[in-house]
Amino acid sequence: MTQSGTIRAGQIRAGMGGWTFEPWEGTFYPEKLAKKKQLEFASRQVPTIEVNGTYYSGFTPATYSKWNAETPENFVFSIKGNRFVTNRKVLAEAGESMAKFFAQGLEELGEKLGPLVWQFAPTKKFEPDDFEGFLKLLPEKHHGRPLRHVLEVRHGSFAVPDFVALARKYKAAICYAHHHDYPEFADVTADFVYARLQKGEDSVPTAYKPKDLDRWVERAKQWAAGGQPDDLPLADPDNKPEKKPRDVFAYIIHEGKLRAPQGAMAFMERVGKG
């Protein structure tokens, strides 16, 4: 509780995907900024970045340590899980690949290790028993640090109460995707919320139009205060999450990537204005 007696909301963080993107040179990054300084610069404009490269390949402890050193205190990385973990016919057999993923040195990020995003192919259908087998493999902690897991599913068969119940049982967040093609459902199932805002436009200076950003910030504040926005679709309308503060991670990504950093900065500016 705050001194005024109101419930303190969770923290809202908005960012973009990655920090290496040539069209950002001169539009987001200063003209002559060295590439090796890009993470240092980007991490001082937004409070979080989603790392996509970890989906395609492994990294070393030295790389994670370098990322930690180049970013300010309270910055948070969201790390995408490796594709060899999630792109398989039988998810419950992902144990070995998952062990390799966690053996690469994530602990070097320290307190900056944020949500771990497990992305599934658009063709991957919901098979309850096998998916629960996968969820059982997810570690609750890594080197003593509690982990936050995100499930980014992209097939319509997941938009059912059974999937929501499973995610809630294993305290994993369902990624809310604002996307042209993928299923869209915003059920809250964990102690944090993860959203990927993927309908931006390069022609808009802030990727999303100002009035749309205003509405997304309103929704983020509802999530942070422990609620669920009433204008987003749900897979299980009967699922009533506990009313408690939740951290919110929102990424402007995919479409509108050219202006994604400016969109995230505009998002945070609105959050800061109350």
pLDDT at 4 over 50: no
Computed on alpha carbons and rounded to an integer, the radius of gyration of the chain in Å comes to 18
CA separation for the pair 92, 122 (Å, rounded): 18
pLDDT band, very low/low/confident/very high, at 274 (cuts 50, 70, 90) = low
CA separation for the pair 114, 105 (Å, rounded): 14
Instruction: Please name each of the domains of the chain with its CATH number.
Output: 12-272 (3.20.20.410)
Instruction: Give start and end residues of each alpha helix (H) in 71-209.
Output: 83-86, 95-102, 128-137, 161-169
Name the token pair of 112: 């900056």
The predicted-structure confidence for 214-272, as pLDDT tens digits, reads as follows 999 999 999 999 999 999 999 999 988 999 999 999 999 988 899 999 999 999 999 99
Is residue 258 packed enough to be buried (19+ CB in 10 Å), middle (13-18) or exposed (0-12)?
A: buried
pLDDT band, very low/low/confident/very high, at 8 (cuts 50, 70, 90) = low
Q: Is 123 helix (H, G, I), strand (E, B) or coil?
A: coil
The predicted-structure confidence for 100-131, as pLDDT tens digits, reads as follows 999 999 999 999 999 999 999 999 999 999 99
Closest CA to 153 of 127, 190, 183, 132: 183
